[in-house]
Structure 1
Amino acid sequence: MTLSRHPGFTSIGDIITREVLPRLRHAQKVPLRLSCIGTAGYEGLDEADEFDRTVVIGQSASAEEAMILASQRVAHGDINVGTDETLRFRPRVIVIQDGDLGLVLGGEIRAGIVLWQQPVASDAEARRIIIEASRLRGLAFAASGRGDHAAARDHRFRASLIEARLVDPCWRVTAAELLRLPQAA
């Protein structure tokens, strides 16, 4: 005896595999951590004295809430390294990470908004990005060795920006769906 498949019927196994298990995996990885990568420097000093800094700016129970929090913090310009009034921070990249530090979503900060990066679609694409990011980090190392701190910082920023697409495989579908939503634009 064979079971006939009706076009409108979805088996319970398919529902569990596609909908329930991913939600359970995500639930185990919250709260999500929201961080900002940028450049810090003291007022009155030149560019060579600036340094890269990562600042944790909050936690969230969901990727959607983290995106909203990131957009609000960037729009208000209230991301700071600390309480020192002479220390300036220029935010450049926002990252959302899960409890295992897997990347959920990343974006570039430009003109007071977050431009979220589309996650990689495959492992092959991820490998290409890793190769390019490694190349840029090598250029940054060489520029730093020459004393060209601005070029080194620019190469590191570009590497971080393309690495923002290296979304953890368990978050890729969720991230792609979030970026299709109208409020994500």
Structure 2
Amino acid sequence: MTLARQSRVAPIGAILAHHVLPALQRAQKFPLRISCIGTASYEGMEAYAFDQNVAIGECPSPEEAMSVASGRIARGDIRVGTDDMLRFRPRMIVIQDCDQGVVLAGTVRAGIILWQQPIASDAEARQIVTEASKLRGAAFAAAGRGEHGPARDYRYHASQLEARLVDALWRETAAELLRMPLAA
């Protein structure tokens, strides 16, 4: 009589490698920093708009960072500085760890953040980098011709693609967060 070995318990090495060590690595990457990339211009002078990056704050967890970012976007209270005439149009939200690895990013539309699904593989990352590089090249060429509006749009489209380039350490966490009701 032969007994079939069916083990539902994972080996301790697999648990350490897949769950414990990544959690310890992520713990060293806190606090998370939230920033908003957008366009700033003075009222009535939209033709002279310029790209601007605004620091929003720091959070101890990805869930809290998403909540803070969503709340700030919904309230529309992200400002470039103290000048009341300077308007800011948010376009992207980026959450990064303390080593500047992307944890999660999303585009801003109609007062909400559309969080981007992280890449699933290195091959997909290479494809995104190639396409984003082409867009940034087109932006450089457009700026060289004095076409600053189209150049800004090319850079924005490249940033939208790059928003999916989540650091490998955070990919699984980001994917899980986007499956949760909080992300909706």
Give the TM-score range, shorter chain: over 0.9
CA offsets per residue over residues 42-96 of structure 1, 9 Å max, x none? 112142x110000010100011110111100000001110110011000000000
The 1:46/1:178 distance shift into structure 2, 3 A limit, reads closer
Distance 2:64 2:21 in 1: 21
Residue 35 (str. 1) matches residue 35 (str. 2) = yes
Identity %: 64
State the SS of the aligned residue for 1:19. helix
Distance 2:115 2:151 in 1: 24
The 1:5/1:12 distance shift into structure 2, 3 A limit, reads farther
Structure 1 gaps, min length 5: none
Which residue pairs with 1:152 in the alignment?
151
Which residue pairs with 1:123 in the alignment?
122
Give me the TM-score of the superposition, normalised by structure 1: 0.95
Runs of 4+ in structure 1 deviating by more than 2 angstroms, as ranges, are 4-7
Return the offset for 1:5.
5.4
Which residue pairs with 1:101 in the alignment?
100
Return the offset for 1:18.
1.6
Distance 2:78 2:101 in 1: 22
TM-align CA RMSD: 1.1
Distance 1:110 1:148 in 2: 24
Structure 2 gaps, min length 5: none
Which residue pairs with 1:14 in the alignment?
14
Give me the TM-score of the superposition, normalised by structure 2: 0.95
**2:73 partner amino acid:** V
Return the offset for 1:33.
0.3
Which residue pairs with 2:172 in the alignment?
173
**2:75 partner amino acid:** H
**1:35 partner amino acid:** S
Distance 2:63 2:182 in 1: 10
Distance 2:68 2:46 in 1: 32
Return the offset for 1:14.
1.7
Return the offset for 1:147.
1.2
Distance 2:180 2:124 in 1: 23
